[in-house]
């Protein structure tokens, strides 16, 4: 079994003046062996397009989830989708990317802009085989995968960006390829790459998109573990056990909380060094311990990380805050959102007397809720999460 995993992320913007998006994405992380991403683009915009694209993506993803072959799914959808008699266009187009065992990709495309594949950060021209199914031309591709292979699926709003405004004929696929080659970096996640491209499209539209625009990125990457400990165990006798398990895990290590950091420093036999002022006045400063990747304050810092995580799962509007921030919350966000594929939480259940005062409503239950909510957000990002309580 290889140490690769599949990272998928998408983001959309609505046509200017529309309340609903005419594009729809379904990502199905069925199990460790398969991930399927479906991007459907409904004809036109507004409610009708939204319904058409949602039905298309849902039908395809549901059929795949019930173990039907891609060929059966495509045949069913191709036969069922009507064609507009006036414009001679299908009521919904679609792109399917299926990753199997993190070693092979199968791409099926119908009337959407061709998927872009970046290999080692550069465009890779893959072979497409055409097939007529229900009077519709479907393109199929199978590709052997390598680490950092990045697939970028688009709705046609992306290649229309800037048409009649900044560009005469819109942003062509070749222009998008050059842009993505320029911004690509191996450490960027699928969601971040999607956000960077969509932000460029939004800019070319002058802030008033002329069409629904969606970018869905699927990236093959190496597994990376990050371990985060917050709070001491309920029983002092469990401190050695908790610390031993935490530091024996491979990957990077984050300590959150003053008491937690003090106990870890004693366990390691290393001094706990306080840092200077925080780069963000709303976040307590970090500290340092030799052998630990990051040491931060607890509740306040994790609460900010949760805010970033909730935003990341939506439109990722706070990306620049945590991506460039030097404070503890921003550093944790980068480690959890960008670097980690597998995250292990070690949560101490001891009650901190300093948090139980009448003027500090951040007691034990709040800490548990923060970790539960953060773990849920990270799971929606596609991270593998394990939470251990002590």
| Strand blocks (E) in 168-251 | 213-222, 225-230
Q: Do the Cβ atoms of 286 and 265 come closer than 8 Å?
A: no
For helices 70-80 and 46-65, the axis angle rounded to 10 degrees is 150
pLDDT value, residue 359: 47
Q: Please check the confidence at residue 319 and state whether its pLDDT lies above 60.
A: yes
Q: Please check the confidence at residue 358 and state whether its pLDDT lies above 50.
A: no
* 111-140: average pLDDT: 90
Q: Please check the confidence at residue 228 and state whether its pLDDT lies above 90.
A: yes
pLDDT band at 218 (very low <50, low <70, confident <90, very high): very high
Topology annotation, domain 4-222 = Phosphatase 2c; domain 1 (3.60.40)
pLDDT band at 164 (very low <50, low <70, confident <90, very high): low
pLDDT in tens, 90-124: 578 899 999 998 889 999 998 899 999 999 999 99
Q: Is 276 exposed, middle or buried (0-12, 13-18, 19+ CB in 10 A)?
A: exposed
Q: Do the Cβ atoms of 43 and 223 come closer than 8 Å?
A: no
* 158-169: average pLDDT: 70
Tell me how far apart the alpha carbons of residues 278 and 290 are, in angstroms, rounded to a whole number. Answer: 20
pTM attached to this predicted model: 0.83
Q: Do the Cβ atoms of 57 and 77 come closer than 8 Å?
A: no
The larger pLDDT score, comparing residue 5 to residue 355, is at 5
pLDDT value, residue 266: 92
Query: For residues 57-79, b (16+ Cβ closer than 10 Å) or e, as one string?
Result: bebbbebbeeeeebeebbbbbbe
Tell me how far apart the alpha carbons of residues 163 and 167 are, in angstroms, rounded to a whole number. Answer: 5
Which pairs from 107-110 meet CB under 8 Å and 24+ separation?
A: 107/139, 107/140, 107/141, 107/142, 107/143, 107/151, 108/70, 108/74, 108/138, 108/139, 108/140, 108/141, 109/138, 109/139, 109/140, 109/141, 110/74, 110/78, 110/136, 110/137, 110/138, 110/139
**Chain length of the chain:** 390
The larger pLDDT score, comparing residue 346 to residue 43, is at 346
* Nearest CA-CA partner of 300 in 353, 366, 253, 356: 366
Lowest mean pLDDT among 85-89, 134-138, 240-244, 380-384: 85-89
* Nearest CA-CA partner of 210 in 258, 253, 158: 158
Lowest mean pLDDT among 1-10, 18-27, 224-233, 252-261: 1-10
pLDDT value, residue 51: 86
* Nearest CA-CA partner of 303 in 355, 268, 251: 355
Tell me how far apart the alpha carbons of residues 267 and 175 are, in angstroms, rounded to a whole number. Answer: 55
* 369-384: average pLDDT: 91
- In the predicted model, what is the mean pLDDT of the chain? 86
Tell me how far apart the alpha carbons of residues 204 and 171 are, in angstroms, rounded to a whole number. Answer: 8
pLDDT in tens, 271-281: 998 876 777 78
Q: Do the Cβ atoms of 248 and 388 come closer than 8 Å?
A: no
* 327-334: average pLDDT: 94
Domain boundaries, the chain: 4-222, 225-389
Which residues make Cβ contacts (< 8 Å) with residue 266, sequence separation at least 6? none
Task: Report which DSSP code applies to 167.
Answer: B
């Amino acid at each position: 079994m290889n140490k690769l995993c599949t990272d998928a992320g998408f983001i959309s913007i609505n046509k200017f003046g529309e309340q609903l998006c005419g594009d729809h994405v379904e990502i199905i992380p069925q199990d460790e062996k398969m991930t399927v991403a479906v991007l459907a683009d409904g004809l036109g915009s507004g409610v009708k397009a939204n319904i058409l694209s949602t039905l298309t993506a849902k039908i395809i993803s549901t059929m795949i989830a019930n173990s039907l072959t891609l060929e059966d799914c495509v045949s069913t959808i191709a036969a069922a989708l009507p064609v507009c008699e006036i414009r001679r266009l299908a009521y919904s187009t679609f792109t399917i990317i299926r990753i199997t065992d993190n070693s092979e990709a199968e791409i099926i495309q119908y009337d959407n802009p061709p998927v872009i594949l970046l290999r080692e950060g550069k465009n890779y021209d893959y072979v497409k085989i055409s097939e007529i199914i229900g009077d519709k031309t479907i393109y199929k591709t199978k590709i052997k995968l390598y680490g950092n292979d990045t697939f970028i699926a688009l709705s046609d709003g992306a290649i229309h960006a800037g048409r009649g405004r900044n560009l005469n004929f819109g942003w062509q696929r070749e222009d998008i390829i050059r842009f993505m080659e320029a911004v690509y970096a191996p450490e960027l996640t699928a969601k971040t790459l999607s956000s960077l491209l969509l932000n460029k499209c939004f800019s070319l539209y002058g802030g008033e998109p002329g069409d629904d625009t969606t970018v869905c990125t699927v990236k093959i990457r190496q597994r990376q573990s990050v371990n985060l400990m917050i709070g001491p165990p309920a029983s002092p006798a469990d401190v050695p056990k908790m610390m031993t398990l935490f530091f024996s895990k491979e990957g990077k290590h984050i300590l959150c909380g003053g008491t937690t950091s003090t106990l870890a420093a004693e366990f390691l036999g290393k001094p706990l060094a306080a840092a200077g002022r925080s780069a963000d006045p709303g976040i307590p400063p970090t500290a340092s311990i030799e052998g630990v990747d990051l040491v931060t304050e607890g509740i306040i810092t994790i609460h900010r990380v949760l805010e970033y995580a909730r935003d990341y799962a939506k439109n990722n509007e706070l990306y620049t805050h945590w991506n460039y921030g030097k404070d503890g919350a921003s550093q944790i966000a980068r480690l959890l959102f960008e670097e980690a594929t597998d995250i292990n939480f070690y949560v101490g259940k001891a009650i901190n007397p300093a948090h139980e005062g009448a003027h500090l409503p951040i007691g034990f239950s709040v800490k548990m809720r923060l970790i539960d909510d953060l773990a849920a957000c990270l799971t929606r990002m596609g991270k593998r999460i394990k939470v251990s309580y002590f």
